[in-house]
């Protein structure tokens, strides 16, 4: 499948478009309410919605009170349902609408699921609130009081009960379950069992009047239920038109996915509203596969789960609309400024706690760290300084060493010294060129005979000499060597085996990606602190380091002082590689799906979600460029780099995005093959 249209089909990429409607209603006017609902259904179908959720008792209005016992109203509600059913005849969208229904001489508050002129099922409300402003038990019966499991409605035989799951036959992983308002408020909502039984999209038809603080509570309920159930949760509530005799209504609608709010409607809006979001079903299925306790929980409730009945349906349409979902370009860096500040603070706390515990456990009070004047060692030194502050030890217990080699630039050497002075550590400089020249002579390298052969051996001799000096300095000073290599470098294998960016006594950066390190350093530069106390005397040096091109500086540059190497020109932009890494490591997505998401985030300057107020590149990447860099990432990650990751030193795991420790998130064979990922990569259209 190498067709561009197929590549951008949302269904083929594992997405389902979900819509939530908040119609303008009239109390006890089903005909009016039906027309409002029909208009929203048609609009949702035009926008490619697979599922459309309406509020609780939306065809009658929620605030009918004892009017619910009037036959005229109940008959008109069924007529309104008939109108909606007829309107759905040519539409693929599955609509879930609320109304009162008479079954077995009792009245039930119901969700009716319909599509293409067919009633797929009727789900009665399980828990009826009868406290505070609610008196539902006065009019309705709970689901478990029903005698029938199938009813005749509008001339169709329809499954009836709270045990119904609705399975899409042509969209893998789309399985629906409906519950109604209070069902979510109880300790074990019906949707919890439904999720264990296979439901991935949980639907709540709610009315839910508004009081102060209730909106935040709805958020908490919907988000936490979607997180616990590893599911999407769509929530509706009643809006304009409900009776305000004693209550008010804000029309809040939410679509959540695994704890994240994908979309939310404005509250207290005039007229009808329609909310959309594209739910990633594949991602949810992957999470359930990864989180083995989900399957264990299902196993413990197997007898109850076996009672669920499945109702099949077919969507029968392609979905080639643009992705309606915000994809952050920097998944490790929150786009929201307040969340980013909180993230930076917490990352520092985790790294510092890990390092202080290691020092306390070892009985060692000194650290040795190599300072290059570049990004990673800068961040690691900031962590070391804060650790010493927390332990009540002088920063002079940190031995910072800058070790210029054959290609060290004046700029980075100056930055290394400025940084060490600004931190207040014990600062030293060791020229490694004499020892490197001796090593090159010992191994018979042409450089020793005056031939400028700048090969990998030439580079690694310098890296190795620096590492040897650090470890011997640590021996001599009874100290620990702090590693500086980051998560991005480990993912790409962009580190020399057994040397400083790979090996140390303890590595504080090993699970922090390059894009996040940039923001961590800038966060300290702009605030001058991390944890409430000044970290650097001269924050400007941090800004200068951030503006320095990333380079290993192992090959001499030109006469103008420009570096002879640019890391990103060799391996590709870290902005993209960190994006690839997040979705590969955290969710196990295929290269094809990763490319689809990367294109959604990076294909133009207006797409995706930029970190608010952050200093980031406004670069954009087309699909061909994304595929080219993704090919490099896949080959490096799956084929050439695991042997380096299999023996990395101890390091604290920082984020839920994962680490590459062989003792933690990532266990893989060092001699594995990349064939299946490379084959999937070729399914991406283009060269």
Q: Which residues are catalytic?
A: 56, 125, 181
Instruction: Tell which residue, 160, 163, 37, 44, has the closest CA to residue 98.
Output: 37
Dist. CA 515–CA 580, nearest whole Å: 12
Backbone φ and ψ for 21, nearest 5 degrees, come out as: -105, 140
What are phi and psi for residue 531, nearest 5 degrees? 105, 15
Task: Assess contact for 117 and 82: CB atoms under 8 A.
Answer: no
How are beta strands 51-53 and 106-115 bridged, if at all? unpaired
67 DSSP 8-state letter: G
Q: Is 313 within 8 Å of 120 (Cβ atoms)?
A: yes
**CB atoms closer than 10 angstroms to residue 316:** 12
Do 515 and 580 meet the contact criterion of CB atoms below 8 Å apart?
no
Across the strands, what pairs with 146? Answer: none
Cβ neighbours of residue 120 closer than 8 Å, sequence gap 6 or more: 94, 113, 114, 158, 159, 166, 311, 313
328 forms beta bridges with: 609
Report the 3 state secondary structure along 626-665. Answer: HHHHHHHHHHHHHHHCHHHHCCCCCCCCCCCCCCCCCCCC
Judge contact between 121 and 111, C-beta under 8 A.
no
CA–CA distance, 108 with 144 (Å, rounded to integer): 11
Q: Which helix (H) or strand (E) holds 235?
A: strand 232-235
Strand-pair category, 156-159 with 150-153: antiparallel
Q: Measured on CA atoms in the order 52, 318, 92, 589, is the torsion positive or negative?
A: negative
User: Strand pairing partners for 18?
Assistant: 51, 277
3-state secondary structure 262-315: EEECCCCCCCCEEEEEEEEHHHHHHHHHHCHHHHHHHHHCHHHHCCCEEEEECC
Question: Are the CB atoms for 681 and 627 separated by under 8 Å?
Answer: yes
């Amino acid at each position: 499948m190498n067709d561009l249209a197929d590549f951008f089909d949302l269904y083929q990429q594992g997405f389902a478009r979900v819509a939530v409607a908040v119609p303008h209603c009239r109390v006890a006017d089903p005909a009016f309410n039906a027309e409002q609902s029909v208009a929203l259904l048609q609009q949702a179908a035009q926008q490619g919605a697979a599922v459309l959720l309406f509020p609780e008792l939306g065809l009658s209005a929620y605030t009918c009170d004892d009017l619910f016992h009037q036959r005229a109203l109940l008959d008109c509600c069924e007529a309104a349902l008939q109108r909606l059913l007829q309107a759905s005849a040519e539409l693929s969208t599955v609509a879930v609408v609320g109304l009162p229904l008479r079954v077995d001489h009792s009245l039930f508050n119901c969700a009716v699921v319909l599509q293409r002129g067919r009633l797929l099922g009727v789900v009665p409300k399980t828990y009826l609130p009868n406290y505070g402003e609610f008196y539902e038990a006065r009019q309705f019966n709970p689901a478990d009081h029903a005698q029938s499991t199938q009813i005749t409605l509008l001339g169709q035989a329809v499954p009836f009960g709270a045990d119904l799951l609705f399975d899409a036959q042509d969209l893998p992983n789309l399985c629906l379950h409906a519950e109604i308002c209070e069902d979510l408020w109880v300790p074990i909502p019906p949707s919890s069992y439904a999720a264990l039984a296979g439901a991935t999209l949980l639907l709540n038809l709610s009315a839910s009047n508004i009081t102060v603080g209730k909106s935040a509570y709805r958020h908490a309920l919907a988000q936490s239920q979607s997180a616990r159930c590893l599911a999407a949760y769509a929530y509706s509530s009643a809006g304009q038109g409900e009776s305000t005799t004693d209550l008010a209504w804000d029309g809040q609608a939410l679509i959540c996915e695994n704890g994240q709010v994908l979309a939310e409607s404005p509250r207290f809006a005039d007229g009808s509203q329609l909310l959309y979001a594209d739910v990633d079903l594949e991602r949810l299925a992957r999470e359930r596969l990864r989180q083995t306790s989900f399957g264990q929980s299902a196993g413990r409730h197997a007898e109850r789960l076996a009672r669920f009945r499945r109702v099949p349906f077919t969507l029968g349409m392609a979905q080639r609309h643009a992705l309606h979902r915000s994809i952050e370009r920097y998944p490790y860096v929150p786009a929201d400024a307040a969340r980013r500040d909180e993230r930076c603070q917490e990352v520092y706390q985790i790294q510092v706690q890990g390092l202080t515990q290691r020092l306390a456990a070892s009985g060692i009070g000194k650290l040795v760290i190599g300072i290059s004047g570049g990004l990673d060692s800068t961040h690691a030194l900031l962590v070391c300084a804060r650790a010493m502050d927390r332990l009540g030890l002088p920063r002079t217990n940190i031995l910072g060493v800058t070790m210029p080699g054959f290609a060290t630039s004046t700029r980075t050497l100056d930055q290394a010294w400025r940084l060490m002075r600004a931190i207040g550590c014990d600062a030293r400089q060791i020229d490694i060129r004499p020892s490197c020249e001796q090593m090159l002579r010992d191994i018979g390298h042409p450089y020793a005979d005056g031939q400028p052969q700048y090969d990998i051996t030439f580079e690694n001799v310098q890296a190795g000499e620096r590492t040897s000096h650090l470890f011997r300095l640590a021996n001599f000073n009874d100290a620990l060597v702090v590693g500086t290599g980051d998560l991005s470098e480990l993912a790409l294998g962009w580190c020399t085996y057994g040397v400083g960016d790979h090996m140390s006594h303890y590595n504080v950066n090993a699970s922090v990606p390059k894009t996040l390190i940039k923001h961590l350093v800038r966060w300290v530069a702009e605030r001058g602190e991390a944890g409430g106390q000044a970290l650097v005397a001269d924050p400007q040096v941090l800004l200068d380091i951030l503006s320095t091109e990333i380079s290993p500086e192992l090959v001499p540059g030109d006469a103008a002082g420009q570096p002879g190497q640019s890391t990103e020109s060799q391996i590709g932009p870290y902005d993209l590689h960190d994006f690839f890494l997040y979705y590969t490591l955290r969710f196990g997505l295929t290269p094809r799906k990763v490319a689809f998401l990367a294109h959604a985030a990076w294909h133009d300057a207006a797409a995706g979600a930029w970190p608010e107020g952050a200093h980031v590149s406004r670069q954009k990447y087309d699909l061909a460029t994304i595929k080219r860099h993704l090919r490099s990432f896949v080959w490096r990650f799956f084929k050439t780099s695991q042997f380096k990751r299999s023996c990395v030193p101890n390091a604290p795991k920082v984020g839920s995005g994962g680490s590459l420790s062989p003792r933690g998130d990532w266990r893989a064979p060092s001699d594995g093959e990349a064939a299946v990922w490379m084959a999937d990569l070729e399914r991406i259209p283009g060269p």
